[in-house]
Amino acid sequence: MPRYAHVIGWGCYVPPKVMSNDELAKMVDTSDGWIREMTGIGERHIASPKESTALMAVHAAREAMETADVNPSDIELIIVATASPEYPFPATACLVQDALGADHAGAFDLEAGCSGFVYGMCSAAGMIRGGMFNTILVVGAETLSRLVDWNDRATCVLFGDGAGAVVLRGSEKPGGVIASVLGSDGSGGELLIVPGGGSRNPAGPETVTSGMHYIKMSGREVYRFATRVMASAARQVAQQAGWTLDKVDLFIPHQANLRIIDSAAKSLKIPPEKVFVNLEKYGNTSAASIPIALCEAIDTGRIKPGDKVLMVGFGAGLTWAACALEWTTPKHLAPPVQRTFLIRLRYNWFGIRSILARILRHVDAALSRLREVVERKLPVE
């Protein structure tokens, strides 16, 4: 029997701090009117010093798991799509696995720029269809405010922070992820890049003083690439799914620029009421943009059982990705699951258990060092 990968849980998190266009106008030569006209963005959420990619990913993941009503031990693989990981290594996904207490899960990061979440969805669906895993957590999380040059008007107005997650589970029931399209064109890699900090330009005084650790973007070239590839990827994935575009119930594009979204929708002849846009509230959250939009679309009733949902992203690489999703509502979600004290307690316990594991590891290491010292001081018999 063929297997299908269904979304059974979803969740998102954005930092409480909101930065409006007017606030940005006090920092750099811009205005609310200019930003809205050029991008469609009105505000963005910015992580506090205590918030990071891993922390936001954990918040979104816990919400997705609560919605799915799965235990951490049920998760077999965790994929975190991010261009702003917690560290170069270890993988942010491993930190998420530890915080969730998902003891039976493998974990890895996926870096495909703003296309990352859809790349992760497609990869997870393929693994489920192939029988490797049955339950996979896919997260898109970004703290791009840490990579933005707040003196560069071309980029600082665009990006925000946040995270979104879904739980995918295998089933013989048709539906879920029906088709996917992944693409890349590395010849355009320099058009959207953070040039410093890797093996090509290792971190040092020169890379810091020259601003190489900030996002650099060739806006016009990226715009031309995006308007072309969004529509073509959408057509390809719809064809693979056996859908005509007029049968698509909801189009969820990467939330990068309203003019790009409008251009793609117009090219595809998808009416505005079938296009989900929340760019005005969040800005471009890169790999988190589509999962945050998906969560909002579900929670506001824009997606119903049986709906055909088309998700398309593009980003650094250059990359693009599209996913055709036939929505199926899990049975346990009627009526919607409410968070309970016991659910929160369950996740708090896993967090405490992680802290205890670290303490025991340090104690064991200290005892080992003590034994070595004692053994070296004992006389040889």
The pair of three-digit structure tokens given for residue 242, joined into one six-digit string: 């056996």
The whole-number average pLDDT for the span 52-75 is: 96
Residue 380 has pLDDT above 60, yes or no: no
The whole-number average pLDDT for the span 174-186 is: 97
The pair of three-digit structure tokens given for residue 13, joined into one six-digit string: 């998190």
β-partners of residue 166 are 10, 138
Among 33-42, 174-183, 317-326, 356-365, the least confident range: 356-365
> How far is residue 25 CA from its own chain's centroid?
28
Between 227 and 354, name the one with better pLDDT.
227
Between 335 and 130, name the one with better pLDDT.
130
Residue 334 has pLDDT above 50, yes or no: no
pLDDT of residue 359: 87
Between 379 and 74, name the one with better pLDDT.
74
- Is residue 268 within 8 A of residue 304, CB to CB? The reply is no
Mean of the per-residue pLDDT values of the chain: 93
Domain spans in the chain, listed from the N-terminal domain onward:
4-333
- Is residue 188 within 8 A of residue 224, CB to CB? The reply is no
The whole-number average pLDDT for the span 50-73 is: 96
The whole-number average pLDDT for the span 134-151 is: 98
The pair of three-digit structure tokens given for residue 294, joined into one six-digit string: 């998906």
Residue 118, number of CB atoms within 10 A of its CB? 33
Residue 335 has pLDDT above 60, yes or no: no
The whole-number average pLDDT for the span 38-46 is: 98
Residue 344 has pLDDT above 70, yes or no: no
From residue 279, give the alpha-carbon distance in Å to each of 17, 69, 112, 258.
16, 30, 20, 7
Residue 361 has pLDDT above 90, yes or no: no
pLDDT band at 42 (very low <50, low <70, confident <90, very high): very high
pLDDT of residue 294: 98
Predicted model pTM: 0.92
pLDDT of residue 114: 98
Residues involved in catalysis:
114, 254, 284
pLDDT in tens, 9-32: 999 999 999 999 999 999 999 999
The whole-number average pLDDT for the span 88-113 is: 97
The whole-number average pLDDT for the span 273-279 is: 98
- Is residue 60 within 8 A of residue 11, CB to CB? The reply is yes
The whole-number average pLDDT for the span 302-313 is: 97
pLDDT in tens, 122-134: 999 999 999 999 9
pLDDT band at 330 (very low <50, low <70, confident <90, very high): low
Residue 223 burial (10 A CB sphere; 0-12, 13-18, 19+): middle
Residue 255 phi, psi dihedral angles, 5° rounding: -90, 80
* CATH fit for domain 4-333, picks 3.40.47.10, 3.40.718.10, 3.30.9.10, 3.20.20.100: 3.40.47.10
pLDDT band at 139 (very low <50, low <70, confident <90, very high): very high
pLDDT of residue 346: 66
**Length of the chain (residues):** 381
pLDDT of residue 369: 81
pLDDT of residue 174: 95
Give the whole-angstrom CA distance, residue 320 versus residue 249.
21
pLDDT of residue 337: 45
Residue 336 has pLDDT above 60, yes or no: no
The whole-number average pLDDT for the span 50-56 is: 98
Among 66-75, 163-172, 367-376, the least confident range: 367-376
On the CB side of 113, CA atoms within 13 Å amount to 28
